[in-house]
Amino acid sequence: MSQTPTLHNAARKGEIAKTVLMPGDPLRAKYIAEKFFENPKLVSDIRNIYCYTGTYNGKEVSVMGSGMGIGSMSIYSYELFNFYDVDQIIRVGSAGALNHDLKLRDVVVGQTASSDSNYAAKYNLPGTIAPCGDFGMIEGAVKYGREHGINMRVGSLLSGAGFYYSDEWMEQWRRMGILAVEMEAYALYLNAIEAGKKALALCTISDLIFSGECCTPQERQESFDDMIRMALSLA
C-alpha cells in the first residue's frame, strides 16, 4: 500500500522530483517556482505549505516549504526522503550572523549543524552526534560561489529550538566557531543521514545578531536569488 499522499503532503509518488529545494517560508517556495521553474505545477498545498515541481535547465526539480523550526522540518524532510524517494534536499533559508565578519546577504554553506534541541535523542546514541552536510554538495556549492563571485563562508550553523535568545547565549556559540543561527538544518541533516540520502543547508544572512542590522521581510522572501541559483546548480 502506498504511503503517499501523507497527512502533510497531497502529492502522489512520482509528482516530486529527486532534488527538492526547501525554504522555510512557503511563499518563498512559490516565488522560486514562479521565477525559476519552467512549467511549475503545484502538487501540494496542505496547511499552505506549497510544493511545486517543474524543470530548471531541463532538469526536473521541486521546491517545498519546510515551515519554521526543527519540528516542522523533521516531518516534511522525513516524508520526502522516506515516502517520496527524494535523493537530496537543499535548504535555502535565512540566518542570523554570529560571526562578526559576515555581512548582510552573504551565503553560509552549512558544513555542520549544532543545536540546543533534543531531536537526536530518538536515536539513543551513547554520546553526541555532529551531523554534517553532504561533502559533494558542499564542493559543488563552493565551486559555483567562486565562479560567480558570491560572498560565502563554509562552516558551522546553529539550529535553535526556539527563536528568542539572549546575546549572552549567542556569544557562547560564537566563541565556539558557529557562523550563523537558523532553525532547521540540524533536523534536515539527521534525517538525511538516517535515510542514507544527501542534504545541504545554504543560508543567506538576513540579520546581524549583535548589531541589529537586518533585511526586511520582503527582502527575505524575494532577494536571495544568488543562493537559489547556487542551490539549483546542484540539482
Residues of the chain with pLDDT > 70, as a percent, come to 97
pLDDT at 47 over 80: yes
> Around 224, how many Cα atoms within 13 Å sit in the side-chain half-sphere?
36
CA distance 69 to 25: 11
Q: Which of 37-41, 56-60, 211-215, 222-226 has the lowest mean pLDDT?
A: 222-226
Instruction: Confirm if 104 and 215 have CB atoms less than 8 A apart.
Output: yes
pLDDT in tens, 76-131: 999 999 999 999 999 999 999 999 999 999 999 999 999 999 999 999 999 999 99
Write phi, then psi, for 155 (nearest 5 degrees): 170, -155
pLDDT at 52 over 60: yes
Question: Is omega for the bond preceding 217 within 30 degrees of 0, making it cis?
Answer: no
pLDDT mean over 204-225: 86
pLDDT mean over 44-49: 97
pLDDT class for 216, splitting at 50, 70, 90?
confident
Angle between helix axes 26-36 and 225-232 (nearest 10 degrees) is 70
Please name the residues in contact with 218: beta carbons below 8 A apart, sequence gap of 6 or more.
Answer: none
Instruction: Confirm if 22 and 76 have CB atoms less than 8 A apart.
Output: yes
pLDDT of residue 1: 42
Catalytic residue among 25, 106, 207, 226: 207
Q: Mean pLDDT in the chain?
A: 96
CA dihedral 148, 133, 196, 61 (to 10 degrees): -30
Instruction: Look at strands 59-64 and 51-56 and give their pairing.
Output: antiparallel
Angle between helix axes 69-82 and 185-195 (nearest 10 degrees) is 30
pLDDT of residue 223: 63
85 annotated active-site = no
What stretches of the chain adopt beta strand conformation (E)?
19-22, 38-44, 51-56, 59-64, 88-97, 107-115, 152-159, 178-182, 198-208
Other beta carbons within 10 Å of 168: 7
CA distance 135 to 199: 9
pLDDT mean over 16-34: 96
In the chain, the domains with their CATH numbers are 19-232 (3.40.50.1580)
pLDDT at 75 over 70: yes
Instruction: Look at strands 152-159 and 107-115 and give their pairing.
Output: parallel
pLDDT mean over 132-154: 97
CA distance 191 to 80: 10
pLDDT of residue 63: 98
Please give the model's pTM, rounded to 2 decimal places. 0.96
pLDDT at 217 over 80: no
